Amino acid sequence: MNTILITGGCGYIGSHTAIDLLEKGFNVISIDNLSRSKTFIADRIREISGKQFHNYRVDCRDLVKMRNIIDQHGKIDGIIHFAAFKSVGESVVKPLVYYENNINSTLNMLRIADEFHIPNFVFSSSCSVYGNTAQQPVKEDAPMATPESPYGWTKLISEQMIAAHAPNVQTKFIALRYFNPVGAHHGGRIGEIPYSEPENLVPNITQTAIGKKKGFTIFGTDYPTRDGSCIRDYVHVMDIAAAHTAALQYQLSGQQQVPFDVFNLGSGRGVTVLELIRAFERSTGVSLPFEIGPRRQGDVVAIYANTEKAMQSLHWHPTRSIEEMMHSAWTWEQTMQRESI
């Protein structure tokens, strides 16, 4: 049984990935300081998977504590590094917090992988590294534009650190560039827990639908798109989770031939903000009140993925529709309301 260390294992994507790994026979060690998650998530992971799961409440920036955890467990076959702050808007207001947290945690995980000879490393990256690119759909070799937010810069800088480090060590590295993960586990037991006021579109939609919010704002309908709203590539969080398992299996099987590789994770098609709202209304029967606001700093006009590389090399492809994504997010929102999460 391969043992995988996940940082941010109680976060949104980390928790879903932990379940996918456990259900596919991996042993999982989680490190999450719970600054952006809840203590009950570890219990839910055990409940859903039926497997042992423990989270160490430790900050990845604390190298001494990180080393102690690895020493306790012995051989680690791979790392998936999720732990990071991820709010675009917050990063614009608090850029130094994002640079300090996201970059230093990645730097420490690279040190851990090197010191303990951990052979495989999957990094949680983002399509934000492409900036406001003109190439659509975006391929992994697209020329990098300037990231539109400090959050995007932290992901790009982290990738640059990995790319510089990888040729000098035995560890194989993969960066998975997510587009827009949405939805929740089909059982409605875990999902995205908004940190303070929700910034992402889907939590705003579901909180409005259930009555926590009176409405929400669409930031700009004057973009050069088919209905004036921004275009994004939405992909179900469980499809994203499966891609991490696939990336590790690709590494463990010896198929990765280069020190550092990157893969896009998306649905491969662009959906406008207004189209996503209509998909929620169709899948739930709930009408949504919203207003139109000005463009938001840090938002790119349109971005969606070319996912051919992940499909060919990792044998991964997304399986869930926009309606399934929105319905699962709605089920999770109802769970949070019912359980006062």
Q: What is the pLDDT of residues 279-336, one digit of tens each?
A: 999 999 999 999 999 998 767 788 899 999 999 999 999 999 999 999 999 999 999 9
What does the chain come to in residues? 341
Residue 89 has pLDDT above 90, yes or no: no
Residue 3 has pLDDT above 80, yes or no: yes
pLDDT at 183: 97
pLDDT at 131: 84
CA distance 47 to 22: 11
Six token digits for residue 163 = 């790319």
- Residue 163: inside a domain: yes
Range of the domain at 262: 3-184+234-266
Percent of the chain predicted with pLDDT > 70: 100
Tell which wins on pLDDT, 147 or 114: 114
Residue 63 has pLDDT above 90, yes or no: yes
**Which of the four pLDDT bands, split at 50, 70 and 90, describes residue 67?**
very high
- Residue 72: inside a domain: yes
Do residues 193 and 280 lie in contact, with contact meaning Cβ atoms separated by under 8 Å? no
Q: Which of 8, 316, 10, 12 is nearest to 184 (CA)?
A: 12
Residue 155 has pLDDT above 80, yes or no: yes
pLDDT at 135: 83
**Which of the four pLDDT bands, split at 50, 70 and 90, describes residue 134?**
confident
Does this model's pTM top 0.85? My answer is yes
- Residue 192: inside a domain: no
Q: What is the pLDDT of residues 36-54, one digit of tens each?
A: 999 999 999 999 999 999 9
- C-alpha distances in Å from residue 63, one per residue of 35, 43, 140, 226, 266: 17, 26, 32, 49, 33
Six token digits for residue 298 = 């840090």
Q: Specify the amino acid at residue 82.
A: F
**Which of the four pLDDT bands, split at 50, 70 and 90, describes residue 81?**
very high
- Residue 8: inside a domain: yes
Bridge partners, residue 174, by sequence: 122, 261
- Residue 191: inside a domain: no
- Residue 46: inside a domain: yes
- Residue 298: inside a domain: no
Residue whose pair of structure tokens reads 């463990």 in the numeric block: 252
Q: What are the φ and ψ backbone dihedral angles of 55, each rounded to 5 degrees?
A: -110, 130
Q: Which of 14-28, 85-99, 135-149, 272-286 has the lowest mean pLDDT?
A: 135-149
Name the domain count of the chain.
1
Tell which wins on pLDDT, 259 or 88: 259
Residue 144 has pLDDT above 90, yes or no: no
Do residues 184 and 41 lie in contact, with contact meaning Cβ atoms separated by under 8 Å? no
Residue 240 has pLDDT above 70, yes or no: yes
Catalytic residue status for 234: no
| Residue of 98, 130, 151, 178 marked active site | 151
Secondary structure letter of residue 103 according to DSSP: I
- Residue 139: inside a domain: yes
pLDDT at 298: 66
pLDDT at 301: 85
Whichever domain contains 31, its CATH number is 3.40.50.720
Of the CA atoms within 13 Å of residue 283, those in its CB half-sphere come to 21
pLDDT at 156: 96
pLDDT at 173: 98
User: What mean pLDDT is predicted for residues 126-152?
Assistant: 88
pLDDT at 198: 76
- C-alpha distances in Å from residue 145, one per residue of 128, 131, 177, 195, 300: 10, 5, 15, 29, 11
CA distance 24 to 21: 5
User: What mean pLDDT is predicted for residues 208-237?
Assistant: 94
